[in-house]
Amino acid sequence: MAKSPDSVPLSELIGGLVADVTGLLRKEIDLAKTEVSEKFTQALNGIEVVIFGLVLAVGAVGVLLSALVAGVAALLVTQGFTETSAGALASLIVGVVIALIAWAMVSRGLTTLRRSSMKLDRTATSLRRDVDVVKEKI
């Protein structure tokens, strides 16, 4: 025979409520874990594709630079250089130009990094304001 709601002791009702809330929280945590795992897997797949694309891009740049060296060498041969010296000089010219571009880009990036401050000025100001407000209330 089922107990009527009026005859159930309060401790039993509270115990049931706690068990239900605990079960609900566990299910919510499990759902969150599953969702985070799915999102992490998606992000990892995206990162893998980006890395593969970057590897191919590096290879493409190498091929293009090789073609540039060959083109400069061919131009130098038409100017009277021997093939050996034209190839060496073309490699040197292209290498120096690419090294200067790389140096300029790295220097610019380092300058930008040096200028940027990692201090969280706005957050610190906001926290100071919050502390002041709390002190006033006390």
Phi, psi (deg, nearest 5) at residue 104: -60, -40
| 87 contacts 69 by C-beta, under 8 angstroms | yes
Give the Cα separation of 87 and 69 in Å (integer): 7
Q: Which two tokens stand for residue 128?
A: 């100071």
Give the Cα separation of 59 and 85 in Å (integer): 26
Give the Cα separation of 8 and 16 in Å (integer): 11
Q: What is the pLDDT of residue 6?
A: 66
Does this model's pTM top 0.75? My answer is: no
Q: What is the pLDDT of residue 2?
A: 55
Residues in the chain: 138
Running along the chain, 138 residues long, what does each successive block of 10 average in pLDDT? 66 83 86 88 91 96 97 96 96 96 95 79 78 74
Q: What is the pLDDT of residue 85?
A: 96
| 69 contacts 83 by C-beta, under 8 angstroms | no
Q: What is the pLDDT of residue 93?
A: 96
